[in-house]
Amino acid sequence: MNSAAADIEIVPATVEDARHVAGLIATAFDPLEAARWQIGDDDLRRALFPGMFMDYVEHATVEGNGEITTDLSAAALWLVESGETKPAPPPPTGRLATALGPWAENVHAFDLALHAAEPTGTPFEKLTILAVRPGRQRQGLGSALLAYHLAGLDRRLVPAYLEASSKASRELYRRFGFDDLGGPITLPDGVLLHPMWREPAGIAR
């Protein structure tokens, strides 16, 4: 973590922050290969992504597992998972399906691929989203958010899971103790996501 990270303050995200956080995530995720595979039309992706991320943000803020930097430049959303097998996610419906048009199939395939890779058998917390606004990346904000939440998981002896969406994020997560969990999730066109697992610090792997 660089020296600037020492001044980073992290607070719980609130419902009032939800719209801003959803927009932050949409902007940060727009360049990712996985995002462009889901919705290949740039204008449509940028129009729909904020609304698509609102469900994640609202759930995390209500459950108390969303965290943001006080300058609103970075956010992390976590879900508490029981480790039990969950039903497969349904395809987009209604207005979203209509708006997505032919891209609805890719969005659903993406959700199904992540669902199939998710571990079962033991409770854990899942990092669903870690987003840093372009222009503030590589300044320690993502690292600060990770360190903040993982310290709490270590105290409670709770493992963590995520899917890394890029080489850079995969290397970041490795520095925080995550290891690859099985092989990569391979989407059509060669887009890869890497499931990763972290035992709490002090627990033998």
Per-residue confidence (pLDDT) for residue 112, from 0 to 100: 96
Residues in the chain with pLDDT < 70?
1-6, 202-205
C-alpha to C-alpha distance for 179 and 177, rounded to whole angstroms: 7
Place of tokens 């922050």: 17
**Relative orientation angle of helices 42-63 and 18-29, to the nearest 10 degrees:** 140
**In this predicted model, what pLDDT tens digit does every residue of 72-87 receive, in sequence order?**
999 999 999 999 999 9
Give the integer Cα–Cα distance in Å for 2 and 18.
28
Q: Which residues, including other chains, have CB under 8 Å from residue 112's CB and lie 6 or more apart?
A: 88, 89
pTM of the entire predicted model: 0.92
Output the pLDDT for position 3: 36
Domains of the chain: 3-146 (3.40.630.30)
Query: 111 — alpha (psi -120 to 50), left (phi > 0) or beta?
Result: alpha
